[in-house]
Amino acid sequence: MIDYHALAPELILAGTVMAVLIVDMLPVRKHWTAVVGLLGLFATVVPILTLGFCESLDFCDYSGSREMFGGSYVIDAFSLALKGLFIGSAFVAVLLSVGYLESNRFWQGEFYFLMLASVLGALVMASSRDLVTMFVGLELVTGPTFLMAGWRKGEARSNEAALKFFIIGVLSAAVLLFGMSLVYGVTGELTFTGIRAGSVGVLDGDLSGLFIIGVLFTILGFAFKVSAVPFHFWTPDTYEGAPTPVTAYLSVISKTAGFVGLLAICYLAFGEVTTLWGTGLWVLAALSMTVGNLIALRQTNVVRLLGYSSIAQGGFILVPFGAAIAADVTGSDLEEAFFATVTYLVIYAFMNLGAFGVVIAVGNRLRSAEIKDWAGLFSYAPGLATMLGLFFFSLAGIPPLAGWFAKFVMFRSVLASGSGWAGALAVVAAVNSVIAFYYYSKVVVSAFMEKVPDGVPVAEIREQRTAPSLQFALVLTTIGVVVIGFYPTLISGLAEAAKTFASGF
């Protein structure tokens, strides 16, 4: 029997996706499609909350995790926490898009249709506990984003961004699938629990080579999705060429979806071979942080800067995975690492969406994303400049903004495991935090301290107002970044609930 309560978030969102297409056909103003999308996202939160607080509700008679379809689809604390994160981020991403699409006269109905379909894929990924469901969810996340990246159809740069993203995206799918097929070949199982049971002692057997290649290819496929160095080269080009709201979507929701897949596959399916993926992700984390930050230093365009910064942030998110490199890693260490990754993902979503919101708002006025044109922003747009400082310092990890807590749990998780290799990774992360602080603060200092460059129509810009939807998105993310920074227990409770997922060790 199908548990409709457990599937309600996905069903409501699927209904919303259809409703957006139908509203697009009706003879009403096109921005109604966004309104329907936002209402649908709001409705999706209701079943997520009732499932999450099932124990204290009268009509809900079932608690704990719910398994469906032979264990392929599971609703537990982890999947609910991540679904909440996806819906919240999607809400902000839609708000970021409304003004941009309206003012540039882009197609709107289809855009929200594709974006919400992609979010539906992210929800499926959070719950999927077998290789095929995970793959279908992942492709549902990425498929629509290829088209969204090329949304400015008449513009060569947007086309180029879409094509590069598409080729790399499909390549990564092929690599991921090849890895999955080898893992299936060795263990004979598709479900994560089955793979875990089947992989006990496989590294000492005849098929160890095949299994190692399978695991590494699977992780490689996800490394493309989360744009870890050296599989990052598509990221800055696609981020710069795509419309900025799409870039925000890619850098937060699509990337988080990749990390969710990586979390589920590493901790559940490959739970018996932690050293194997620990080593691979240790290297990817160190490279992503270092290369991402060093190249970000030289950037003159804010969007490209945020592109490289998101590569480096991806490295920080990978750091807790790297703690699994130690051969004697214990269950509680892995739980701590899992907790750190989920916490970082939640905080990263707030601050990165906020940073892109500021870029969209300022970009609308200045018609430029070059850092040198942003000098003296504070003198004519003090509100936006303050938010810029808030989000950039949060990304840099300055207390009391939310970013510090993400960095804190990240460092705590690697240092807790106490092994030499994990310690080395903590040192790399610490050095990188300093480098990152330099380029984030450079932009903020220039916006606050320097003179306005010639040719910026200051009086004209003062007259302009930020679109209400964008204002709302900025307020939401600002509150998130400040409140989480002062009361980190708010989200540590969420991540703590998600941790039960990794407690099978």
Say whether residue 298 binds another protein (CB under 8 A).
Answer: no
Least distance in angstroms from the C-beta of 181 to another protein: 4
Applying CB under 8 A, the span of 165-173, 283-291, 356-364, 494-502 interacting with another protein comes to: 165-173
* Structure token pair of residue 177: 């699938």
Least distance in angstroms from the C-beta of 281 to another protein: 23
| CA–CA gap between residue 363 and residue 11 (Å, rounded) | 37
Contact (CB, 8 A) for 226 and 191: no
| CA–CA gap between residue 307 and residue 234 (Å, rounded) | 10
β-pairing, 73-75 with 66-68? antiparallel
User: CB 327: neighbour CB atoms within 10 A?
Assistant: 10
- Selected binder of another protein within 93, 161, 281, 324 (CB under 8 A): 161
Residue 420 phi, psi dihedral angles, 5° rounding:
-65, -45
Residues 402-431 that bind another protein (CB under 8 A): none
Nearest to 314 by CA among 295, 289, 336: 289
Applying CB under 8 A, the span of 3-11, 80-88, 101-109, 171-179 interacting with another protein comes to: 171-179
Applying CB under 8 A, the span of 17-25, 176-184, 452-460, 472-480 interacting with another protein comes to: 176-184
Applying CB under 8 A, the span of 31-39, 89-97, 178-186, 414-422 interacting with another protein comes to: 178-186
| CA–CA gap between residue 44 and residue 7 (Å, rounded) | 11
- Rounded to whole angstroms, what are the CA distances from 169 to 94, 166, 265, 343, 468? 23, 5, 19, 27, 34
As a residue count, the chain comes to: 505
| Residue 170 CA, distance from chain mean position | 19
Say whether residue 294 binds another protein (CB under 8 A).
Answer: no
* Structure token pair of residue 243: 């419309």
Return the number of the residue (146 or 259) whose C-beta is nearest another protein: 146
How many residues bind another protein (CB under 8 A)? The answer is 42
Return the number of the residue (181 or 332) whose C-beta is nearest another protein: 181
- Selected binder of another protein within 78, 91, 112, 146 (CB under 8 A): 146
- Selected binder of another protein within 106, 107, 184, 505 (CB under 8 A): 184
In the chain, the N- to C-terminal Cα span, in Å, equals 31
Least distance in angstroms from the C-beta of 444 to another protein: 26
Say whether residue 240 binds another protein (CB under 8 A).
Answer: yes
Return the number of the residue (183 or 481) whose C-beta is nearest another protein: 183
In the chain, the amino acid numbered 162 is A
Least distance in angstroms from the C-beta of 464 to another protein: 28
